[in-house]
Structure 1
Amino acid sequence: MVNWQDRLNPQGGGAEAHLHEVFGRLAERGHEVDLLCSGFQGAPPRDRLDGIDVFRAGGRHTFPLHARRAFRRLIEPRGPEVIVEDLNKVPLFTPRWSERPVVGLVHHLFGLTAFREASPPVAAATWLLERPIPRVFRGLPLIAVSESTRDDLVRRGLDAERIEVIPNGVDTTVYRPDPGVPRFEQPTLLYLGRLKRYKGVEFGIRAVRRLRDRGLAVRFLIGGRGDDRSRLESIAAAEGVADAVEFLGFVSDERKVELYRRAWVHLLTSPKEGWGITVIEAAACGTPSVASDAPGLRESVRHDDTGLLVPHAEVGALTDTLERVMGDADLRARLGAAATEFAAGFSWDAAASRTERILARAVGSARSAGERG
């Protein structure tokens, strides 16, 4: 596996959760799994997590400069049978590194969305670095976590026949409703994830101010870490709702489940997601989501069934929708029950099994080609 981060990285998010849930299960099944990723302050260069041997090289911003050399020095001698590149952030173009078979794993690519969410230099770099992906990965097997991601890859010129959609899973033995855990007494919104500008958390903050203007004493719990926290805190202060917006910082797994169960509504207002793991986790706990009507989220939220979708970045529409769902207990109960049933259909074990079959086919095809050669 080649991915920018592992699950212990403070900047880790859904891609890292997916990586460890799926490939940790493959390690449990007896496969040897190596992960090459970036390091972070205080992290050892070598680690073992979830049965995965982790090799860290460089840092968050220097990983692309170190990755290829680290692969040749640390991973290639171990004789990997297949390379899986998790295509997120800056592509590393692993098919150019080795003659071993490569499988691409794609959550979502930014494309032109980057220009709406990042500074022009960063957005331009992201857009340019994604441009060669179709050429480098054409003809190779690809895993997409949603139909939206697959459709995006096809529009970019990749073969639909080579792309298999494997949705993220959820551990319903952990994420499940608990009638013994009451909802918060005060109407409460919840966001859990990285605090990055492109996640659109600010729209929830602005909606809170409008809801309070309408007389609804709502609060907004924001869990997670990231470099956008100070900006979001400034927005909350400027909107006059600093007392209603609470930044929780790092949230443990146990606390996360409790928050999902106690919140009235889960909120995810980003312009694009590969799938939306937190949406399914909240759903499994019986909490509906209000989310942007955006790629990926259109699949993890079934509008007016398991949650509600709103036009991205339209704070007025978001406010109206939140007022509707927060003020209607019967609606929340209906959405929450349907969300729990929907989430039960997604399994990390099934995702791991399907991934295992794709990797086996890639290895088998490479062996057959070698024998013919």
Structure 2
Amino acid sequence: MRLQRPLLLTLALTLIAAFLAGQPSTAAPPAFKHPGVLVDQAQLDFVRQQLQKGAQPQTAAYDAMKASTYAALSYTPKPRAIVECGSSSNPNNGCSDERNDALAAYTHALMWYFTRDDRYARKSIQIMDAWSAVLKDHTNTNAPLQTGWSGASFSRSGELIKHTYGGPWAQRGRFEKMLRDVYLPEVRNGAGCKNGNWELIMTDAAIGIAVFLDDHAAFDKALSIWRGRLPGYVYESSDGAYPKAPSTCPKNTRQEIVDYWQGQSTFTNGLAQETCRDFGHTGWGLTAATHVAETAYHQGVDLYAEAGNRLTDGFSFHTRLENGAAVPKNLCGGTVKKGLGAVTEIVYNHYHNRLGQQMPATLTYTESKRPAGADYFYAWETLTHANNPR
């Protein structure tokens, strides 16, 4: 029997829709999932269940968080209208205060979720309100990076309180306006030819703010920046004889790339643009890239899959050396500055616990850093992500 054309068209559209439904999205979803900045409700509920059972490593991680100054109910924020941060936070006019207050706001938001004690939610709100009442700008040379550090934590705290706490937050609109008008413009367009950790940290903040504000355009912009930066930050042999340039940085000759990669002229899978600078900044870049991928994952965009082996190779390369592997003579002149930091929980959780991939060097390093604490723009990731299959 011959099918009529409208019926054929309907069947074709149905098949296409079914196919697309099974494919990961590459752009912002029609509606954002909340909470969905770095952590989602299923992950948080899993942690809460683990804590009720006294399971490890979550219980030790929770105890460390609760004992920290960031979780003190007596915590007092120190907001200011202009945060001035030069290179290496010198001058430091509000830089440490802002970062610490943003981490404290996030810490109290987590404490609220796990304890259901309203005092923690109110303290998180107090900290966020204190800053939204006065902050006008970030200035001096480190302004974009400072905005990224603090914006990443503030977006997470705002997201949790907005979508899990039923109590009053009278000044929520003012906090949203601060993120929209003070933070997002500073971080949304990337960092050009600065070292890659800048742009990845800024993008971490940008995607978190985008989800919190339900800003689809800002979300898609963050995806674009990440997609252009990661291949310019972690090398894979499929890139060719030397690394790619980031999409925001117009370097296109081998010598320009070598200079940008701290003088390193031989390349191997997992090497990062800042490896020969030091592992501390490299750890920031790698974990910020992972934060972006984790937030996107909760929103239905699988940047982890798009990354191919870059994230697993990047972390494995550096954790092997942190674990004591010999430094090759052709790497950074035979000497590296270790200190990657407690930045591996989320990447290990995704690739191992969700996907079943083996990352032995990263596991050894991760376990040696548990429970992970809080610093600059990452906090309590053993608690939120260790062995968390959600």
TM-score grouping bracket, smaller chain normalisation:
under 0.3
Query: Which structure has more helix as a fraction of its residues?
Result: 2
Q: Which has the higher contact order (CA 8 A, sep 6+)?
A: 2
Using structure 2 for the length normalisation, give the TM-score. Answer: 0.24
Using structure 1 for the length normalisation, give the TM-score. Answer: 0.25
